[in-house]
Structure formats: C-alpha cells, structure tokens
Amino acid sequence: MAGASPAEMSALEALDDLADEIRGMGNEPVPHRAARADGITSGHGCGHNLFGAGSVGAAIAIKRAMADQDIAGEVRLFGTPAEETVVGKVYMANAGAFDGVDATLVWHPMTETRVTNASTQAMNNFTVEFRGQAAHSAADPWNGRSALDAVEMMNYGANLMREHVQPSTRIHYVIPNAGEAPNVVPEYAKVWYYVRDTLRTNVEEHYAWLLDIADAAAQATRTEHEVSLITGVHALLLNRPLQEAMQANLEAVGGPNFPDVFQAWGREMQTGLDIDPVGLDVEVQPLALGATPAQGGSTDVAEVSWITPTVQLEITSAPKGVPWHSWATSASHGTEWAAAAADVAARVLAMTGMDLLTDPGLLEAAREAHRESTQGRPWRSPIPADQKPPIP
C-alpha cells in the first residue's frame, strides 16, 4: 500500500490474519492473474469475506421471524476470527462461548452447492524452537552447538516414523528459521509441524511421539528446545437429522442465481486455467445416504460440533474445478456477483433455524444423533484451558 509506514503495514498484515485473508493469494476480481491494484498481496482464496453477510443475514431474518410469528427462543450470532489458521473457535470454545447452545448452523463458500457430508481431520499445529551456541563454522566449530542440526535430526526422526503410522495420518513441516549464514553455527532454528488424522486419538499418540523425537534431537545435539502447541482440533462430527432438514431447505431455495456475465467470467477463467469451461456449478448436490469419506484438511468448526449438534452448508462461489486457496478463488470472491452465494446461505440458514425453533422433534433428534456420535464422551479441548490465543 503506497505511503504506509512499516508499522502501519505490520498492523494491516495482522488484520489480514484476523480477517482470514491468505498471504500471497491476492488478485484483482478479474478472470486472469492480476496483482491487486491497491498493492495488498493477500486475498480471500477461501471466501471468508462472504461469511459475515450470509450469517448476519440469517440471524436478522430469524430474529424478525421470531418476533413476527411470536416464537420463543434465542438466536446467537458468532463472528469468529482466524479461522483460516484453525485457531478462532478453538479458543472461543475454551472460553465457553458455545456452552448452552442447542444447535449450530454454519456455512462455507465452495465450488459446489451441498450440505456438508464428510468429516475432516483432527490436527495438532505446533512449533519446536531449538537453541544452541553460535561459533565460527571453520575457526572454532567445537565451541558451537547447532540448532539447525537439532531441526534436521527431528525431521529425520519424523520421516522414519512415517513408515509406522496409519495410512490416515498426515505429518507435514516447514522450517521457518534455519540459521543466517553457513559460516556461523546456527544458534537458533525453528520447525513448524502439523500432525493430522481422522481420529483424534491417533493425533495425540503421534504428537507425543514427535515430542519424544524433538527431545531426543535436543539431547543428541546438546541444544535446548521449546514446544509451542498453537492449536488443535477434533474431526468434524456430522449430524444426520440437521443435515436432512438443511438439505430440504437447500433444495427449496436452490443454488445461487448468478448472472450470465459471471458464468461467462467463470468460463474465461477456466479456459485460461486449461480446465473444463463449464462456468459455476449452481446445481444442488443430493445428500448421499451415508457420510462420504473424510476430507484432507481440518476445521475449527469441529470443536463446535463436539460441543453442540452442528451442520454445515457449502454454497458455490467460484468456478467449478479451479484450485481452492489460489489467486483464482480470491478473484472470484472479490466480484460483486459472489455475494449471491451469501444470499443463498442466509436463506437456507434462516429456514433451518426456524425449523429448529418450531420443531422440538428436530432438536431432540439432533441431540440424540449428537449423543450417539460422541458416545457420551464430553468435549475436551486439544489445547490447555488457560492458553492465550496467538494474536500477532
């Protein structure tokens, strides 16, 4: 952004994190790659800029309908920051934000229109920082203790561990800090890990194993180390009665009514990306009889789904087949037309909310399904109860 000081830019970047933009994914709302004219490099590659309009619209509609129809009850609207990093609702849940909520309705932009029917992966997101002793790499390496050696040993251990975990487990890392120059023994190095699985119990087991590997790497390299668990989530629980109620409403409302100009825009983008130029898919997908296989990826909605019966809606907001979390989805979500997705979401969420307020049988069935899927186990936060959110 022209004229912004480094301090001002830093504040803007912090806002980008909270507003859930994705770094490096910024694009003008055009069907080809074009950097944002305002100079901001991040963009809404996941469509989180549409959340607010859809959910606020639904909450206002429910509140008005309750007054109009004289229906008792309470509607709560949750604005949740930092969802992209799977952080916001984990800390909100820890603070008791969702206690006493009977049911939760959620929506998310997507390249198809459907009621979510697949679980997600449980996950722990953590960093390990190693601290050693700097020295000249050639003159007196014996005085040095390399933090980078510790990171490399930890990663080597984790890569050997891979052979002995379930096929459902995913372990990935990056090295944000690995020393400054080859002629200095690195005194500080940091590695950042995600460990995921469809089962929370596997995540916990493998997390403990990785911490043992970190410990062993520190011992072997004569360095100190510190683990920071940034966030953790369960796998998303589906709720069949709520899914069926939402599906009926979604079919009644229908997919988003995008103008022809947006469809043409989408086909142009698809042609440029060398994918089928079919435009945006506005058909409502049927709800399969059973749950479809868990998706790769994690969501902080999962924590809410363990606390209270939860259902999620997905509405088309970008052309079919374009890569998600990319410049292409940022471009789509920046158009004025994408708001039609939020409009459909507001309608379907509002109708499902009214069903819950007027049909005690639906809420009871949702509670029963929730009891079944949690098997009576109370929700336990993946992170320590007193841990403060990692606000930049």
> For binding to Zn ion (CB under 5 A), which residues are involved?
46
Rounded Cα gap, residues 155 and 158, in angstroms: 5
In this complex, which beta carbon is closest to Zn ion, that of residue 108 or of residue 190? 108
The three-class DSSP label of residue 244 is helix
Please check whether residue 90 is in contact with residue 299, taking contact to mean a CB–CB distance below 8 angstroms: no
Report the nearest approach of Zn ion to the CB of residue 19 (Å).
12
Buried b or exposed e, range 126-163, using 16+ CB within 10 angstroms: bbbbbbbebbebeeeeeebbbbbbbbbbbbebbeebee
Q: Shortest CA distance to 107 belongs to which of 46, 65, 61?
A: 46
Q: Least distance (Å) from Zn ion to the CB of residue 118?
A: 15
Beta carbon nearer to Zn ion, 46 or 50 = 46
Reduced to 3 states (helix: H, G, I; strand: E, B; else coil), residue 22 is: strand
| CB proximity list for 166: less than 8 A, separation 6 or greater | 197, 202
- For the bound state, the minimum distance from the C-beta of residue 71 to Zn ion, rounded and expressed in Å, comes to 32
Q: Measured at CB, which residue is nearest to Zn ion?
A: 46
By beta-carbon proximity to Zn ion, the closer residue of 144 and 256 is 256
Task: Find the shortest distance in angstroms from Cβ 102 to Zn ion.
Answer: 25
Minimum separation from the CB atom of position 326 to Zn ion (A): 13
Q: In the numeric block, which tokens belong to residue 367?
A: 């509670």
CA proximity to 121, closest of 236, 245, 224:
236
Of 86 and 273, which CB lies nearer to Zn ion in the complex structure? 86
Q: Give the nearest distance from C-beta 87 to Zn ion in angstroms.
A: 12
Count CB neighbours of 367 within 10 A: 16
Strand intervals (E) in the chain: 104-110, 114-115, 122-131, 170-177, 188-197, 224-233, 310-316
Between 115 and 362, name the residue whose CB sits nearer to Zn ion. Answer: 115
- When the beta carbons of 277 and 297 are compared against Zn ion, the nearer one is 297
